[in-house]
Chain A
C-alpha cells in the first residue's frame, strides 16, 4: 500500500517550548545563523513557532503556531523551479533535491508560507559540534535551498527496514524529530492513507483547519484548534 505522509498540529496543546525547533535542527544538520545573520533576517529553521498575543501579564491571550513546510499537494513552489529541484514524490511529499538546486530562490518567493530556508553562506560547525551531525542527512553548501522534509531519512529508513522484514509499516513505528520531541504531543505524524492511523483520525476532527487553505495549495499539515484565542483555564 502506498503511503501519504501527513502531520497534525494541535494548537490547543502547543506550549511554545520550541523543543521541535531544536530537535529538527539536530536531526537535519541545520546550521546556526548566528546573532548577526539572524538580525538580518536569515535565521535558519525548518520549523518555526509563531507567537501571537493580545493583552498583558497576568492574563495575556497567547497563541503558538508551529509552521513547517506544509507539503502541499498543489505546491506553488514546484512548477517554478527551473531545474526540478523542488518536486513531488510519490508519497505526497514535496521533495528538495539539493544537488539540482542552483539557488534561483524562485521557490522561496512562490511559497506563501515562507517556510523555505536558503544557505546564504557555506555552513560550518566549530569543533566538536561537527561530531554531532546526523550521518543520514546531507550537509547543504552555499546557494542551496532547503526546507522541512518530514524527516524523509527516517521515512526511508523505516520503509527499508519494513521491506527487509517483509511486513507493512505500523503506525507509530517511527516519527519525525519534531513530533518525537514534543512534550505535549501537539505534533502527530503518520500515514494519511492508513485509515486507522492517529493522523487520519485527528485530521478528520471537527477542530481541523488548514493554514492558508483558501489559496488552494492543499497542504498535508492539519491544524487543530477550537478557536482563535484560548484562555489558560479552558481546555
Chain B
C-alpha cells in the first residue's frame, strides 16, 4: 500500500473523529427549529387524516371527481410520489454500481426519500377507491367469497410492483444503516442504547460481516434497478393500457421512468440543501455534490423534454380527431396555462441554470429543483385530466375542479413526507458514516487498480482534501 506521511495520517485521524462527531450529533441534540418543523408537519398530517375521515364518512363525492374525470388529484399524487421515489434508486444503486465515489454522502438521504415516498404513494391507491375498507381485496388471499384479484389488471400489477419495490428499498436502506446503528449504540446509554442494540442486530464489524454486507449491497443494487424501472413502467401502464386518446401511447413506459428519475433527483437536491443547512453538514454535502447532481438533473430535463416533444409531435402529426381534441385542450384551450407553466418549470427555468457552470451552485440547483417539483406535479396532472375530460364522445366531455378535501390531502402528503424525513433524521445518521470513512482511505474505497509498491515512492501526500469543485 502507498505509505502516507504521519502528518497526513494525523489529519485523516482527526477527520475520522470529526466525521463521527458531526454525523452523530443530530441524533443526540435537536434544535428548536427542528421541533417547530416536526410540529408543522404533524399538523399537516393530522389535517390530512381528518380530511380522509370526512371523506370516508361522506363518500368520495366530497372530492371534485365526476363523470368523465374519474381520476384527478388522487392518481396525480400517486404517480408523483412513486416518481419521487426513483431518486434513491438512481443515486444509490446506479452510482454504486458505477463506482462513483462522490455518491457516498448522498446515498442515505436518497434512499430515505425513496422509502418514504413509496409509502406515501402506496397509501394513495388504498385511500382513493370508492370503498377503501375493502381495498384489501387486491391482495391474493384465500377466501370463501370467490374474490380473487384479476392479474390482467394494471392495478393488480401495481400492487405487486409497489410491494416489491417497497420491500427492496426498505432493505436497501436498512442494510448499510446497520453499522451506523452500531456506532450510535456504542455512543449512547440507557434506553437509547437498548433500542439501537436491537436495531443494529448486534453488529460488531468483523471482516466477515463487512465482506458480506458489501456483497449484499452489490446484489441489492443490481436487483433494485430493474425493479425501479418496472415499477414506474407499470404505473404508467395504468394509463396506456386503456383506449383513452393520448393515454394509449407506447411511449408512456420510458416517459414515466425518465420523469420519475427527473423529479426524484430534484427532490433529492432539495432535501440535501435543507439538510445541509439545518444539520450543518456543509463539509459533507459540498458544492461538488450539487454540481454533479445538477448535471444529472440537466440530462434528465433534456430527456424529459425529448420524450414530451416526441409524444406531442407524433400526436399532432397523426392528426387523429380524438387525440387532437385532447392535444389542443392542453396546448391552446382550458389547460394551456398549466401546460405552459409546466414547460417553463421543467425546461425553461432549469436548463439555463443547470447548464451554466456559474449557476450550477447549491442555490441554483435548489431553485431549479423547486421549479421541477412543481412542473412534474403539473405534468402528471396534465397527463391524466385533459385526456379524461375529452374522451371519444363529445357529449360526455366534462370539467374538473378540486375541492378542499383534495387540496388538504395533497398538502398533507407533503407534510407526511416532511414528518417522516424529519423523524428519520433524528433516529438515523443522515450520512452514511462508515461509507464516508471508506472514502477517506488512500484509494478512496474505489477499485484498486495498481499493484502495491515494492519500495517507498518518496513523495509526501499533502494538500487540501478533495472536497472543492475541480476546475
A window 60-107: CB within 8 A of B: 67, 76, 79-84, 100-106
Contact with A along B377-405 (1 / 0, CB 8 A): 00000000000100111111011000000
Contact A120 B59, beta carbon cutoff 8 Å: yes
Shortest 9 CB-CB contacts between residues of A and residues of B = A103-B130, A143-B130, A41-B66, A120-B61, A114-B396, A143-B131, A105-B70, A50-B395, A142-B59
Bound Cα distance A41, B397 (Å): 9
List, sorted by A's number, 9 A–B pairs whose CB atoms are closer than 8 Å: A50-B393, A51-B395, A81-B150, A103-B130, A105-B65, A109-B71, A110-B243, A113-B396, A118-B67
Q: Are A142 and B393 in contact (CB under 8 A)?
A: no
How far in angstroms is the closest Cβ of chain B from A94?
Answer: 14
* Contact present for A114 and B130 (CB under 8 Å): no
Q: Give the total number of A-B pairs whose CB atoms are below 8 A apart.
A: 140
| Complex contacts, B353 vs chain A, CB 8 Å | none
> When the two chains form their complex, are residues B149 and A143 in contact, meaning their CB atoms are under 8 A apart?
no
**Per-residue interface assignment for chain B, residues 40 to 77, with 1 indicating a CB less than 8 Å from any chain A CB and 0 otherwise:** 00000000000000000011110011111111000000
| B288 contacts chain A at the CB level, 8 A cutoff | no
CA gap between A144 and B61 in the complex, in Å: 12
Q: Does B152 contact A (CB under 8 A)?
A: yes
In the complex with contacts A103-B131, A109-B388, A41-B399 CB distance below 8 A: yes
Rounded to whole Å, the gap between the CB of A114 and the closest CB of chain B is 4
Interface of A is mostly: loop
From A48, A84, A104, contact of B129 by CB (8 A): A104
Q: In the bound complex, what is the Cα–Cα distance between A113 and B242 (angstroms)? A: 12
Tell me how far the C-beta of B152 lies from the nearest C-beta in chain A, rounded to whole angstroms: 4
CB-defined interface of A190-221 with B at 8 Å, one 1/0 digit per residue? 00000000000000000000001001000000
Q: How large is the interface on A (under 10, 10 to 19, 20 to 34, 35 or more residues)?
A: 35 or more
Counting chain B residues whose Cβ lies within 8 A of the other chain, the interface size class is 35 or more
**Interface of B with A (CB < 8 Å)?**
58-61, 64-71, 125, 128-131, 134-135, 137-138, 147-150, 152-156, 159, 238, 241-244, 388, 391-396, 398-399
Does the CB pair A42–B59 fall under 8 Å? no
A230 at interface, CB cutoff 8 A? no
The reply to whether B392 and A212 form a contact with Cβ atoms under 8 Å apart is: yes
Q: How far is the CB of B328 from chain A (nearest CB, A)?
A: 19
A108: Cβ under 8 A from any B Cβ = yes
Give complex CA distance A105, B125 in Å.
11
Which A residues touch B147, using CB under 8 A? 83, 100
- Which among B61, B65, B149, B399 is the interface contact of A83 at CB below 8 angstroms? B149
A132 within 8 Å of B by Cβ?
no
Q: Indicate whether A117 reaches chain B with its CB closer than 8 angstroms.
A: yes
Does A82 contact B156, Cβ atoms closer than 8 Å?
yes
A215 adjacent to B243 (CB under 8 Å): yes
Measured between beta carbons, the chain A residues less than 8 angstroms from B134 are 102
Whether A113 lies near B138 (C-beta < 8 A) is no
Q: Nearest chain-B residue to A122 (Cβ)?
A: B59
Alpha-carbon separation in the docked complex, A231 to B144 (Å): 59
